[in-house]
Amino acid sequence: MLADQAPAPADLLADPRVRAQVGPLLAQCDALRLDPFDGVFHLASAVSGECEADFELGLRSNLDTTRALLDALRSRVEAGAAPTRLVFSSSVAVYGPDASVPMPDRVADDTLPAPQTSYGTHKLICEHLIADYTRKGYVDGRSARLMTVTVRPGRPNGAASSFFSGIIREPLAGMESVLPVSRDVSHPVSSPSLTVRGLMAVYEASREDFGGRLALNLPALNVTVQQMLDALQAVAGPWVRGLVREVRDERIAGIVANWPRGATAARAARLGLLPEHRFEDIIRQYIEDQAANPAALQGLKP
């Protein structure tokens, strides 16, 4: 069952194993009480830039919706069902600088979360909610802290981190992209495919294998923006690299300045999850994934 605000792609809907519901998740949670599913991947969220611009949207989309989903799953247990396994997509944005406990250069599973954005705060609150519902036996929950996913296909979204994909995706399509932060910005990233593998591994892990607290970091490749641009030039050439234009945006730069410069993922490694080695490999993976979509690779034409 796919629940989203946008219709599912036609190729997915053609699969007889797939059903879809369209609309805000908050309005769909009651119906989920009766669906015979075994597990839930909770990926829905208003993203960082949206939450900063619209406080009420963030509260409604992130906190109210997650509480409603958890209560729907709780009602199943109270009716006699076994707890549903739930994977929540948290974020590296739960970390931030704190005057009393400085943020390390690379945040780890045991680094004190101190979010400095509404989005990161919502993610951390939801982590604790899921842990408490799990403690009560209402769900079998676990939270995976996603790194910034790049190169993400499709169009830009309202996330402050959107440029981490945009400075690669748009130039490969032959379009100009704006870089709103300094090239010395360092950040932990992960490819879409590794992120998906991470979510699946967290879902499939036994409670014993998962171990410890219910939130862990997914693997990260720690790179600077300069290294990303160098990788783009190495893979696609100087003309494509030249389509990235530097125009500083103080709002975006201010948000990103409070994010981790790097991350480690020791607990994920024990589940067999390791980061990519080079950003060039992530770019090539994106090119391979988009081979059937010529418009996405327009910039590679001679």
Percent of the chain with pLDDT over 70: 99
Token pair 């609309």: residue: 23
Q: pLDDT tens across 7-34, in order?
A: 988 999 999 999 898 988 888 887 777 7
- Reported as type and span, the H/E element at residue 279 is helix 279-289
Do the beta carbons of residue 141 and residue 256 sit within 8 Å? no
* Residues tagged active-site: 119
Q: Is the pLDDT of residue 127 over 80?
A: yes
- Residue 1: the pLDDT is 87
Q: Is the pLDDT of residue 113 over 80?
A: yes
- Residue 302: the pLDDT is 61
Do the beta carbons of residue 22 and residue 94 sit within 8 Å? no
- Residue 155: the pLDDT is 81
- Residue 69: the pLDDT is 94
> What is the pairing mode between strands 186-190 and 221-224?
antiparallel
Model-wide pTM > 0.85: yes
Cβ atoms within 10 A of the Cβ of 226, count? 13
User: What average pLDDT does the chain have?
Assistant: 93
Question: What structural domains and CATH numbers belong to the chain?
Answer: 33-300 (3.40.50.720)
Q: pLDDT tens across 87-105, in order?
A: 999 999 999 998 888 889 9
SS3 of residue 224 by DSSP? strand
Q: State the average pLDDT over residues 138-154.
A: 95
Q: Is the pLDDT of residue 36 over 80?
A: no
Q: Is the pLDDT of residue 193 over 90?
A: yes
- Residue 50: the pLDDT is 87
Q: Is the pLDDT of residue 176 over 80?
A: yes
Percent of the chain with pLDDT over 90: 75
Q: State the average pLDDT over residues 248-268.
A: 93
Q: State the average pLDDT over residues 190-198.
A: 97
Compute the half-sphere exposure of residue 102: CA atoms within 13 Å on the CB side of its CA.
Answer: 3
Alpha-carbon torsion (94, 195, 148, 224), positive or negative: positive
Dmax of the chain from CA atoms?
A: 63
Token pair 């990303």: residue: 228
Q: Is the pLDDT of residue 232 over 90?
A: yes
Q: pLDDT tens across 40-89, in order?
A: 999 989 888 888 889 999 999 999 999 999 999 999 999 999 999 999 99
Q: Is the pLDDT of residue 173 over 70?
A: yes
- Residue 101: the pLDDT is 80
Token pair 């769900």: residue: 139
**CB burial of residue 287 (10 Å; 0-12, 13-18, 19+):** middle
CA dihedral 90, 93, 98, 104 (to 10 degrees): 100
